Each structure stands twice: as C-alpha cells, then as structure tokens.
Chain A
Amino acid sequence: MSDEASSAGAIDGADNVNVRPLALVARRERLLMIGLFSPAFLLMATFVVLPIAWLFYLSFVDNAQFSTVHYSRMIEYSSYYKILLTTLRISIIVTVICAIAGYPVAYLLAQLAPPWSIICLSLVVIPFWTSLLVRTYAWLVLLSSNGPINSFVEWLSITDKPLELVFNETGTVIGMVHVMLPFFILPLYSVIKSFDWSLIQAASSLGAPPISAFARVFLPLSLPGLVAGAVLVFVQSLGFFVTPAVLGGGNVTMVSMKIASNVQNYFEWGASSAFGVVLLISAFGVLAIAARMLGLERTFGMTR
C-alpha cells in the first residue's frame, strides 16, 4: 500500500509534499486492519492451533513419558494403513460426486427467478434441519435388499439378484453424498450468484460458442466456489462416523471409528491422537497434491 502511495506521489511529481501524510495514513490503516483481525486470530489460536498442538503433544506420550509407541503400533498393524486409505478414498469419491452432482444444481439455482430460487434453495437447505441419524437410517431402509429401490429394480427385471447397495462402500458413499451435497452447493452458489453475466455476453460477442464461453470464462471464474465447496466436503468427509457405521454395515472402517475404538481400548489418549495426527497430515498432503495438479495455488493463496 505504501508502494502505491509513493508511486501516486511520483506521478503527481510536483506534489511530493503528500507522500509522508499518505504513508502515515497507510500505516494507520494497516494497524487498524491488524487490530480488526486480532479477535479472529486469537479465536483461531485458542480453539484451533492450541488444541492441534496439544493433540500432537499427546500422541508422543505414554505412561507420562516421551514415547513413539503409538506410532510404532500403526506400523505393526497394517489395519491402520488400510483404514487411512479407505478414509481418503471414500472422501475423494464423495467430493468428486458432490462436484459433478452439485455444480449443475448451483448453476441452476443462480439462474432461477425469486419465487423458484427460494423454493429450490430451501429444498437444498432443509436436509440440514433433519437429524443425521434419521437420514442415515432412512437410507438403510431405501437401499436394503428388500427396500423400495431394489423392489423397483426387480419389477423392471433388470437383474435377477437384488443390487448390493448397502452394507458396503456404495451405501456409505450414497449416504455421505446426501449429507455433504449442501456443503458443496452453498459456497458455489454464492460465487455464481455474484458472477458478472456481461462477461458471457462479451465472450459471445467476440465469437465464442456457448461451450467455450462456459469452459473458458464461466468455469475459471467459478473456481473459487468450486474449490471452497470441494475442500469443505473433503475435510468433513474425513471425520465421518455415523454414516459409515450404519450404511457400511461394519464392512467399512473409517479413521474416526478406529479412533473411537482406541479411546475405549487404551488408557492413553495418544493411541487415538496419533492416528488423528496422521489423518491431519495426510489430509494436508492430499490437498497440496490436488492444488498442484489443478493449478489452484492462486485460489488457495499459496503463491502470489
């Protein structure tokens, strides 16, 4: 900002007298910004950074002594590695499906005129107000081998055996997508809603057919919403417990379930927090790889 102030002074040339007061204003503004930012910073430090540091510390404690036993246990039993892979795989699949299913919905929502846009938006939001457990058990009924979906498929006589829709990863993913979809749609919707549609008109007037206007103008500009939604969905999916427990029918074990099992199994918190630390690091790893592959460094603010 001070660069701008001095260059503005340089352009004015004759009016060098303004440079110092402008720099002062800029400095005061920066201090004010830091002041405004500090409550949020304190909140984050107290409720996010500190607990994570504590989690990290606990994972190295056994019998009140420094120990790596909680990490070596994870190497000794390959189940930890498999559970971590399952968790990451399911979270990625759920995120991709949410993106494919949610993008058109958010696009449509942003296009609709008031009465319909409000109705459709509330249809997206209403599931938020229903108990997660109720929704999960509802899916159990819908997807079971003698449930309505399989009865319909049977009636169509597509297959002679009922589809295996539940008590496996398929059921888990279906249930999780249903829970996560609003988390993807809402941030994307808010970005698309504020999109400047004259840019599309400009693209068409310059001869872009609709598809390339969408792919080269609309899609890149909606990317921040898409990324925000995807990160929200991915990160929340990593911690799912109820949905995989019920719809996975015990055949799907995710990290949170093993963490719960370890809390009860071992007296040491470290047995659980070590796995939490590994999950956290893996999640950052996946996000970093995804950011690099998709060239999203700018969206994440990693580079300038």
Chain B
Amino acid sequence: MRPAAFLAAAVSLTIATSAVAAEKLSYVTSGGVYLENIKKAFLEPIGKKLDIEWTIETADNDTQVRVQVASGNVTYDIVEFGASQCALGASQGLYEKLDYSIINNTDLAPGSFSDYYVGSTVFSIVIAWNTKTAGANPPQSWADFWNTEKFPGTRSLRKTARGMLEAALMADGVPPEKVYPIDLDRAIASLRKIKPKIKAWWLSGAESQQFVKEGGIDMIGAFNARMDSVASDGAPITYTFNQGILDFGCWAIVKGSKKRDLSMRVLAEFVKAEYQAEMSRLSNYGAANTKILDTGKISPELAKRLPTAPDNLKRQIFANPEWWVQNGAKAIERFDQFMAE
C-alpha cells in the first residue's frame, strides 16, 4: 500500500471508530462495597444513557487531586469524597464551579450542596453496641457512652476531629443545637475524660467493622451503614440514631478537567431521585435528594432505617461544613496534639 493511501485509510478508520466509541470519563471514590453499589446505582445506568465509558479509580482522600491540580496534569474528572474534603478543597480552588442551570438542585437537602460540590449519600456516626455484651443496658446518648460506670464495656471512637469533637460536646452536656460553634477547649477536655477508656480508635470504615467483629469492642461510634453491614454478616451489633452526627458524601469536578461539560451533565443525572433511591436501597445510606421516597423504590421498613428518615433526622445533628472549612486545620492540629498526649 502506498503511504498516502495508507494514511487515508487510517484516518477514515479513526473517524469511523470515534463516531461509535463511548466517551471516556474518570470517576474516583473510595473502594469496597461502597464502590460496587455506586456502580450499580449510578455508573452503569447513567453510562448507558449518556454513552460513557467509565475509568474508575479508588482513593480515600483528595491527595491525588491536589497533586494533579498543582502539577496541571489533570486526569480525574468526577470525584466523590466526604463533605469535609469537598468543602476544604473548594475553598482551596481544587474544583470547578458547578452550573445549577444544568444541575437541578431544587430537591436537594439544604446544606448538601455548594457552588463547588453537590451531595451524594448521607451517613451518620452513630452509637453502636454489641448486643451480647452491652445489649442489656445499651448507651442511648454520648453522655451514656462517656459514662463508663453505668455502662461498662470496651469502647472505640473514630480517630478524627470531625465528628468526635461534636460527640464530646454532647457528652459534656451541650445541647445538640448549641454544638456549633465548637468550643475546642471544652471538647478536648471532654475527650480527655474518655480517652483512657477508649481501647481502640479507628481510621477507616473497614477497621471499625473489624474492631466490633474481631477486636473485642463492646461499644463504638461508627458509620450506620458499616454497622448494618456487619450486622447482616451475623455479628451481634445494633445502634441508635440518638445524637448521631450526620455527614454526607459529595461529588465535585476537578479543576482543569478536560471533560468539564460532560461531567456537569453527569452530575445533573447523579442528583436525580431515581438513582439516589437505588443507591439507598442497595446501601442503607441516606441521600441528598429529599424525594427518594417518592420513587417507590424504598420499602417502608428501609425508609425507617435510613439516617435521613424524618424520625431519625430529628434525633441527629448535621456536621457543619462551614465551621470545618474555617476552623478545620486548627481543630485537627489540636485533636492530633490530644491524641499524642
């Protein structure tokens, strides 16, 4: 074949394939069961609808996003993290501004979206306990959790400032609606009281599950869906939503993404009730979209178990993203300092 002819053939071939090939888009979230559910509820149906071929990567935190934005070599498009990371990243210019003329936010819970991110799942740090060892006299508030004389047993908490400072204040008698702005000194002083009784502090959700399954922990402050999942594996674990600390996952588009417009259209799908309802059905997580019950996908039994069910919402507080963006660095430094004491 002559070079020119070969070139022409190659070019026409490329055009032909690109006309039918799905567009590639990268999606980043934490792995495990959570990712499997995200695939089933969001990525597969929406990928089919918008003709997208997903490149899925897992990350527990936004370190890679920081590297990509700082170096200008952005390969991520849509990322999903915890609200604290989205809010902090947004304040530091890691994400593209969202276009709410494309993304419909009318049904989204207030506070679950901002100019730079939009809420995905809603979860809660709840008080959970082993029904065999602590079932006769389970703790019903953080004050009970802190009271080791009336509620004996080994304890575990999350090794993060976010959530634990709130719990510590409620344990110290601060009413839930008065938790913010957080009094750091008071929160740390309260944590200092319980620290000798905390056998283990968990970092990842998987650790919290191992601790209650194999680690001999009787009471734990942990994510509700993680505890549902160990319970469904047969572990004798249950929990209360009393004084649970609600937090949410969030989607954002990485600054400098080459697929910004497509990503925006994808987010417009992600926030729809039909997909979010499917995610809740699969995972027991709540959803940022307040209309998921209208889809008919959620059974009345499940509706009661979701952290966003009206009866449960009443008993919990929402972690305040603005407070954490403004005070997070100092609060985390104080918490790390306290942990090293």
The answer on A and B forming one complex is: yes
Seen from chain A, the residues whose Cβ lies within 8 Å of a Cβ on chain B are 73, 77-79, 82-83, 86, 137, 140-141, 144-147, 162, 166-167, 245-246, 249-251, 253, 258, 260-261, 263-267, 269
Question: Is the Cβ of B214 less than 8 Å from the Cβ of A258?
Answer: no
Counting CB contacts under 8 A, is B303 at the interface? no
**With contacts defined as CB atoms under 8 Å apart, how many contacts are there between chain A and chain B in the complex?**
79
Distance in angstroms from B215 CB to nearest chain A CB is 5
Question: Is the Cβ of B214 less than 8 Å from the Cβ of A265?
Answer: no
Complex alpha-carbon distance, A73 and B337, angstroms: 12
Seen from chain B, the residues whose Cβ lies within 8 Å of a Cβ on chain A are 61-63, 66, 70, 85, 88, 92, 154, 156, 159, 198-203, 207, 210-211, 214-216, 328-329, 332-333, 336-337, 339-341
B214 neighbours in A (Cβ, 8 Å): 137, 140-141, 144, 147
Question: Is the Cβ of A82 less than 8 Å from the Cβ of B340?
Answer: yes
Q: Which 6 A-B pairs have the closest CB atoms?
A: A250-B201, A249-B200, A79-B340, A145-B216, A250-B159, A79-B337
Distance in angstroms from B113 CB to nearest chain A CB is 22
Question: Is the Cβ of B336 less than 8 Å from the Cβ of A79?
Answer: yes
Q: Which of A167, A250, A261 has the most chain B CB atoms inside 10 A of its CB?
A: A250
Which chain B residue has the least Cβ–Cβ distance from A166? B215
Q: Which of B156, B203, B207 has the most chain A CB atoms inside 10 A of its CB?
A: B203
Which chain A residue has the least Cβ–Cβ distance from B85? A264
Given A246-B207, A266-B329, answer yes or no on A167-B336 (Cβ-Cβ < 8 Å): no
B156 neighbours in A (Cβ, 8 Å): 249
Question: Is the Cβ of A79 less than 8 Å from the Cβ of B200?
Answer: no
Question: Is the Cβ of B199 less than 8 Å from the Cβ of A249?
Answer: yes
Given A264-B62, A266-B329, answer yes or no on A253-B339 (Cβ-Cβ < 8 Å): yes
A73 neighbours in B (Cβ, 8 Å): 333
Question: Is the Cβ of A253 less than 8 Å from the Cβ of B337?
Answer: no
Question: Is the Cβ of B216 less than 8 Å from the Cβ of A137?
Answer: no
B88 neighbours in A (Cβ, 8 Å): 264
Complex alpha-carbon distance, A162 and B216, angstroms: 11
Distance in angstroms from B327 CB to nearest chain A CB is 12
Q: Which of A82, A162, A167, A269 has the most chain B CB atoms inside 10 A of its CB?
A: A167
Question: Is the Cβ of B340 less than 8 Å from the Cβ of A264?
Answer: no
Complex alpha-carbon distance, A265 and B202, angstroms: 18
Q: Which of A73, A249, A258 has the most chain B CB atoms inside 10 A of its CB?
A: A249
